Amino acid sequence: MLNKVLLDGASLTLEQTVEVARYDLEAKLSTEAQARVRASRRTIEELLAERRPVYGVTTGFGALSGTRITPEDSVELQRNLIRSHCAGVGSSSETEVVRATMLLRANTLAKGYSGIKLETLETLVEMINRHVHPVVPEKGSVGASGDLVPLAHVASVLMGEGAAEYQGSVMSGGEAMKKAGLRPVEFAAKEGLALINGTEFSKAMAVLALSDGERLVVNAEIAGAMTLESLHGHLEAFDERLHAVRPHDGQVRAAGDFRRLLSGSDLLAQGAGEEGGVHDPYSIRCMPQVIGAVRDALTYVSKTLLTEVNSATDNPLVFASDSVCLSGGNFHGQSVSIASDVLSIALASVGNIAERRIARLMDPKLNQGLPAFLVSRTSKEGLNSGLMMAQVVAASLASENKVLAHPASVDSLPTSANFEDHVSMSASAARKAREIVANVERIVAIEFLCASQALDLRGQKALGKGTQAAFARIRTKIRPLTSDREISEEIKTLASMISSGEIVDAVEASIGKL
């Protein structure tokens, strides 16, 4: 891991964003970005001197854009903008979301189209590096003129107001800046607007959800392979020839993953199988088609977010080479909103099909001779409920995801006296995506719990090379179920192993990258 990520407005990766957000990677501005920022600022000052009308610089905001503001009032205008927009409600955003938001805003400002002072941008970057984390309420953005409300809470600390977390304690923004050795900024003309007009809060949550979702899909493949084995499933449905004639990239890749995970297994059905069937139910047989479609959807989401991360989302935008400010709508979050909804729908599908596999493991009519609810064969019949409630919890989470997956991007409610008459709801879409990720992690954790128990009940037959690695890693932390016990902490432990990548790492050490 590098010590610092270079911000030039054009080459920030999604992986770097996650590293800054979660693992304290520091940031710094490139030399080229510094030059562009200075040139952009000079253009703003020239326009001010010429008293040309420029939205948000010499005018009011939104429906008040017809009101002219004198240069003498421009500083107060920017300060009032931030104060009036600090109206967020709800729980405070997680630190990783705040760090990603700050990083992404710094990167778009580094493109040099926003007219901000270099010193202001440098202070924002140093807030990241010195761990001054503004308290940003989760709710209040409609993703239209960007994420105005959450970004205002960030900008408030930058000017020494608001609240921030520093070294584990929440305090006033001014105190946090002082303790970190930073001087609050007095915003000049255009700067307040430059700091809050963009999609950074929405895309910060979306980038983090995507990162977790990509890892989650690999875990879902592993869990599904373990379930297939424990149900004496058929490998024929994963044959390379089948998928070559429906060559969606994700489907072909997923089928290949399953073949490698199950290579060498003695538990797979041969021919007609134990119950006479020649193939398996859809939740088993169609895993490559379902997970493959999810993989392809995540590819679209990744492409969209990577473009957005390195875009100029301010308004108006300053084109220094032409000495003009152009007012448009790059702040609108529709691209992030749709991508987040696609992510939500795709990952909800992962949870849906996993829950159906869990249900089959529970049912003695469908689980190929395993005990009902995977109760230990040594326990007294009827005395233990086994993993009955694990499936109930999975069903609860899968059903909740169906509500959460309703697209926010199709909603719109006019704001600002109907001046902002179509909004994206991108922050809501991204926040829901993160919630769905957490739910599906728990569903897949439950499948790991149940599939591991089922494999124990099958005895000592050889597992596939990949599934054996996963099973062995799980059994280092979760013991077999011999009699009823609380399993909430075990589900939590397995969910943590999913989010940390621990199970995937163990499998990939055995069979290579999935």
Residue of 23, 55, 166, 282 with catalytic role: 55
Cβ count near 181 (within 10 Å): 9
- φ, ψ (nearest 5 deg) of residue 288: -65, -35
Sorted by sequence, the CB contacts under 8 Å of residue 315 that are 6+ apart come out as: 55, 56, 145, 146, 193, 197, 327, 328, 329, 330, 331
Pairwise CA distance, residues 114 & 186, whole Å: 17
Which residue in 11, 141, 99 sits closest to 430, CA to CA?
141
Encoding tokens for residue 451? 């599939």
H-only helix segments in 310-379: 334-362
- In Å, how far from its chain's centre is CA 463? 33
Q: What is the DSSP string of 217-239?
A: HHHHHHHHHHHHHHTT--SGGG-
Helices then strands, counting H and E runs in the chain, come out as 19, 9
Secondary structure element (H or E) that encloses residue 116, with its range: none
CB 49, CB 323: distance < 8 Å: no
Encoding tokens for residue 465? 């090379």
Beta strand ranges found along 280-407 (DSSP E): 317-319, 324-326
Q: Which long-range contacts (CB under 8 A, 24 or more apart) does 90-94 make?
A: 90/137, 90/138, 90/139, 90/140, 91/137, 91/138, 92/135, 92/136, 92/137, 92/138, 93/136, 93/137, 93/138, 93/150, 93/201
Q: Which residue in this structure is represented by tokens 């249900």?
A: 359
Which residue in 375, 387, 386, 395 sits closest to 442, CA to CA?
395
Encoding tokens for residue 345? 């729908």
Sheet holding 163-166, edge to edge: 133-134, 163-166, 169-172
- At position 318, the amino acid (one-letter code) is V
Known catalytic residue: 23?
A: no
CB 7, CB 17: distance < 8 Å: no
CB 221, CB 263: distance < 8 Å: no
Catalytic residues: 55
